[in-house]
Amino acid sequence: MFCLSFSAKAQHMAFVENEGQWQGDFDYLLRNGSDFLFFKADEVRVQLLEKHSAGEEIHHHQNSGEVLQGHVYSMQWLGVNQEAKVTRTILEGAPYLNYLKGKNPDHWKSGLRQYQEIVYHNIYPNIDLRYYLSPAGVYKYDFIVRPGGNPNDISWQFKGVERYGLAGADLALITSVKNVVYTAPLAFQGSDRIAAAFKQQGDIFTYAVAEYDLDRELVIDPTLVFSTYSASTDDNFGFTATFGEDGSGYNAGINYIYGNINRGFPTTLGAFQDSSNGGVVDGVVAKYTADGSQQIYATFLGGSQNDVPFSLLEGPNKSLIILGVTGSTNFPVTANAYDTSFSAGVSSALSIGGSLNFPLSSDIFISILDSTGGSLLGSTFLGDTAMDGVNDRLEFNYGDAARGDLSIDSLGNILGVSYTFSPNIPIGSAFSSSYQGEQDGMVFSFNSDLSQLNWNKIIGGNSNDAVFSLRFSPANRLFITGATESTNLSYPSTGVYQDSANGKVDGFLAELNPANGEVLNFTFTGTSEHDVSYFLDIDQKEKITLFGQTRGAWPQVGDSLWGQPGSAQFLQQFSPDLQLNLSTTFGVGTTLATNISPTALMVSECGDVFLSGWGAGYGSRRGAMAIPRNMPLTQDAWRDTTDFGDFYFLRLDASWKRLEYATYFGQFGNGPDHVDGGSSRFRKDGSIFQAVCSCGTDSSGFPTTVNAYAPKKMNRNCNMAIFRFDMEADSIDANVKVATGYADTVCFPSQVKFDDFSFNADWVLVQSPNGILDTLRNQLFNIVDSGLNRYTFYALDTNCFLMDSSFIDIFSFGREVQADFSFDYDSCNQSALVNFQNQSQGAAQYRWFFGDGDSAISTNPSHTYSPGDYDIQLIAIDPICGSTDTIRKSISIVQSNLFLEMTSDFRPCDLSYPLSLRLAQNGFHRFEWYLNGQRLNESADSLILNLNSGGLYEIRLVATDTICNLVLEREESAFIFDEGFNLELPNIFSPNGDGLNDFYGALADELSLDFVENSSLEIRDRNGILVFSGDGLENLWDGKFNNLEMASGVYFYLFNYQDICGNIKDAKGFLHLQR
């Protein structure tokens, strides 16, 4: 079995069955934001609407004279089973829906359920089509192919689309409102990847699926946008990745040289550095298109010793800012750089993939590549004679040694965080900053071309310290986070969460002055054990989120937060003044070992938390880590199993109470998936650009996209890779229900109350049926009228300018029940079918009694009667308010007596005797007479013809019942003799047994047999001998005499006959017998 899966994000969705409340040929309807989808067995019809601005969405209006544009297209499944059985799964917690529209009770439907899933079974042989909503609010559809099914049976075409076709591996539709892209499918069987792609043949689309195990499930999912290897044939480790504004991806890492300056990493034409400058490893940088199908550029970046990039950030004009560490005195720097000289000193090492030595010590480097990757816009050293840029002392996970981060302020200055052991490292104009001993963290600021160090703030005390991440808030406030072992850190701590250290290692969060690096406020965050904060991000309301690890009893702060208490990964939310708002942990409920090493964090504009990490059982000097099989996952996880060496992605809603999405990602077996330190980044749309170091002997183990630039690993060990994985940011859900104890169908007058379960909403407004708009509070609403009362709810996220709406219909019965009906009876209908039209008022249920013992409960029934008189009774019922009314009417059913018979009178031997035709009929009103095909000018129900000559007369009558429009025909024929009846004999025949002309006699037909009474035939040979004699037209000569065949020759015949009019005639002559 395999599954083809596609998805689309929506705000508030449920499948609702069309039971007649809507007009149109469809089975189910689904609202997807401003668009609507209509489902039936062979089609999904999509109605697209252009979106309003935020203000227009909230107020549900358009500018005067503005036209709202829409477009409808359909995706039509070809050759499907129109009678496919449908099963549904109810959407838990969704209210019943009532549709009481217009005056026609046929369109009044109440108590309709909302569904999370609908499945058309055997839409193709052994193939089911499943439409469903994932727990993360994603609309998807799957083709599930069971054993015996053939994916080649699946085909479709689009109708109503202006242009469409394959765009790379994707399927793109161009409409008048918006463009629609169906991302390329990816196929998996369990943990094994199976190649799958769209295939187009003219206007028909199908799936191309590679060979797969027919006895196992195959899943095809479009969530992975792109994934590609670097195509290096050398060992090539991935460290860092980031995104471009246009969706492109950047990737950086190291390439092992093994004495050959350019053996295996494929650079591009015009690269800044197309070969290595020496050392064991050089830095490498690559950029890829948004779909990962093409490499835009690839270049080395390094000198004669080891060089390692570990953070990337796209700068202005698609430039790329790179942060890393180098041991090369000849690392490329620009002429106007702040520091053009490497600061040689004490040797050091970086513990990545073994140990990378820096014999001359290490400096930090910051470089800027232009948009082509062909030149440096800026590049500088930062360091002194001791080890700089390496996190040597606070390394708890494999790869921690190579962490760092970058940012750009509103003035274009480039900021970064790193580490130093150098007492004399430059500090620029930093406020009260100097080396404190051991390993210190630091935060630095350069101008836009790296020609000037604005300031370099040292963060440290009497032990080891590290700064891992920095971010600017929407108000341009600068915050940093990291970890410390120091016991004497002394920074301003006004009203903060923790103003002193707690244990062995503490995390911290601090606000700095962007102008000079001055620490404005500082808080510790930790327990009595090891606690490290690796990443921070800030939302639109200036709330700060931290992501880190703990080995202690981490506090749970907040009401009913999602998480797994006692776990080793933490999330915290702080106010801008560093007070703790929320705190939770996630994982497997133990701190004996951490589960993932953090690699990225993002808080969306609407407050959703996105994070990524990896676990692969790699140890470090401080502990071990292996990602467990029981990490929290969602039902729509991209992968729900792990080989204990995978990436892990998570999305948490803005309230921190609901897990939106969680999944494993990576290959299965063939070596653990990891990243060698560095930073990866999320875009604000929820897509992670993740760097990978993929190892193992299998060249194609790590999942890559079908059209990837390098879908396979080109070596037998490790290869740098990058992938983009979308988790769809930002949603809001208007979820309001009728409160317990109240109903959506009531008797007028009444009241109703609503409970608010909306998601991610700052405000919920309610618009009553009278048009009054108010906030939804704990209040009662008076039912303002009988009939349909619609309450519309608007959930607003004022931070993200998002809006979602829903409505609840309250139907109020307040009118007196009045039973009434009419009926249609067509007396011309031989089946006597009577159609009843219900005209009752104020009722919802009905009972019919037809007077012949039968009954019905439908609204507008039909009934077939036998002839007779009947009394019909209708009882109209209001089941809510308990009212009834009864009406009786009578009907007579009359049996039809239509009949038509025609008789004729004539004398065949008397031309003077008229030909007359008479009718016996009932129920016919118009008559048309035809003589030998010509219509006569007669319309009476009888006909008399005076004949002038003999011959055959054919008469046809067309009789019409003009009331019932029923037509019947009758026909008669008459033959009249005027000169008797003449027969002819042939003069040759050939009795040779071929079935043609084998017998000799009069040329007679059925008419001859009727009008000839007596006849005789004699045949003699040339000698006068009688060779044949016979009476009657049917008695013919077979060319024999005494059973012997007569010879060919001339014979003499004599034929005598008498017709029915008494005329006696004879004929004689010669005939030729020819064999």
The answer on pLDDT for 650 being more than 70 is yes
Q: How many other CB atoms are there within 10 angstroms of residue 121's CB atom?
A: 15
The pTM for the full model equals 0.55
Q: Which of 427-436, 733-742, 1015-1024 has the highest mean pLDDT?
A: 1015-1024
Question: DSSP string spanning 924-971?
Answer: --EEEEEETTEEPS--SSEEEE--SS-EEEEEEEEEEETTTTEEEEEE
Strand partners, 4: 143, 220
pLDDT at residue 173, rounded to an integer = 79
Provide CB contacts within 8 A for 970, sequence distance 6+. 900, 901, 902, 956, 957, 959
Tokens read off for 456: 């370099």
pLDDT at residue 134, rounded to an integer = 60
Q: How confident is the model at residue 701 (pLDDT cuts 50, 70, 90)?
A: low
DSSP H or E run through 1010:
helix 1006-1011
CA distance 216 to 493: 60
DSSP letter at 273 equals -
Strand partners, 643: none
Tokens read off for 489: 């850190």
Query: Which carries the bigger pLDDT value, residue 22 or residue 689?
Result: 689
Rg of the Cα atoms in the chain: 47
Query: Which carries the bigger pLDDT value, residue 809 or residue 233?
Result: 809
CA distance 277 to 267: 14
pLDDT at residue 899, rounded to an integer = 82
Average pLDDT over residues 515-529: 97
pLDDT at residue 648, rounded to an integer = 95
Q: How confident is the model at residue 815 (pLDDT cuts 50, 70, 90)?
A: low
All domains in the chain, ordered by first residue: 2-223 (no CATH), 325-690 (2.130.10), 736-813 (2.60.40.10), 821-893 (2.60.40.10), 899-976 (2.60.40.10), 988-1073 (2.60.40)
Q: How confident is the model at residue 223 (pLDDT cuts 50, 70, 90)?
A: very low
CA distance 237 to 254: 5
Q: What is the pLDDT of residues 330-365, one digit of tens each?
A: 999 999 999 999 999 888 877 665 568 899 999 999
Question: DSSP string spanning 659-707?
Answer: EEEEEEES-SSSS-EE--S---EE-TTSEEEEEEEEESS-TT-S---TT
pLDDT at residue 463, rounded to an integer = 96
Q: What is the pLDDT of residues 890-909, one digit of tens each?
A: 998 877 777 889 998 988 88
pLDDT at residue 54, rounded to an integer = 28
Q: Which of 124, 111, 128, 130 lies closest to 636 in space, CA to CA? A: 130
The distance in angstroms from the start CA to the end CA of the chain is 78
Q: What is the pLDDT of residues 372-405, one digit of tens each?
A: 999 999 999 999 999 999 999 999 898 899 999 9
Query: Which carries the bigger pLDDT value, residue 813 or residue 258?
Result: 813
CA distance 173 to 165: 7
pLDDT at residue 912, rounded to an integer = 86
Q: How confident is the model at residue 727 (pLDDT cuts 50, 70, 90)?
A: confident
- Phi and psi based region of residue 168 (left: phi greater than 0; alpha: psi -120 to 50; beta: remaining): left
pLDDT at residue 69, rounded to an integer = 65
Q: What is the mean pLDDT of the chain?
A: 84
Q: How confident is the model at residue 58 (pLDDT cuts 50, 70, 90)?
A: very low
Q: What is the pLDDT of residues 106-143, one digit of tens each?
A: 767 777 888 989 999 999 998 989 888 764 455 778 88
Write the secondary structure of 311-324 as one string of H (helix), E (strand) and C (coil). Answer: EEEECHHHCEEEEE
CA distance 136 to 16: 19
The answer on pLDDT for 1009 being more than 80 is no
Mode of pairing for the β-strands spanning 204-209 and 478-484: unpaired
Average pLDDT over residues 766-793: 85
pLDDT at residue 274, rounded to an integer = 67
Q: pLDDT over 70 for what percent of the chain?
A: 85
* Environment class of 3 (CB within 10 Å of its CB; exposed 0-12, middle 13-18, buried 19+): buried
**Ranges 346-350, 684-688, 1039-1043: which has the least confidence:** 346-350
Query: Which carries the bigger pLDDT value, residue 96 or residue 911?
Result: 911
**Ranges 271-280, 570-579, 766-775, 782-791: which has the least confidence:** 271-280
Mode of pairing for the β-strands spanning 414-420 and 440-446: antiparallel
pLDDT at residue 169, rounded to an integer = 61
pLDDT at residue 57, rounded to an integer = 31
pLDDT at residue 81, rounded to an integer = 94
**Ranges 70-79, 404-413, 426-435, 626-635: which has the least confidence:** 626-635
The answer on pLDDT for 1 being more than 70 is no
CA distance 780 to 540: 35
pLDDT at residue 82, rounded to an integer = 92
Q: How confident is the model at residue 597 (pLDDT cuts 50, 70, 90)?
A: very high
Average pLDDT over residues 474-503: 96
Question: DSSP string spanning 464-525?
Answer: -EEEEEEEE-TT--EEEEEEE--S------SS-S-SS--SSBEEEEEEE-TTT--EEEEEEE
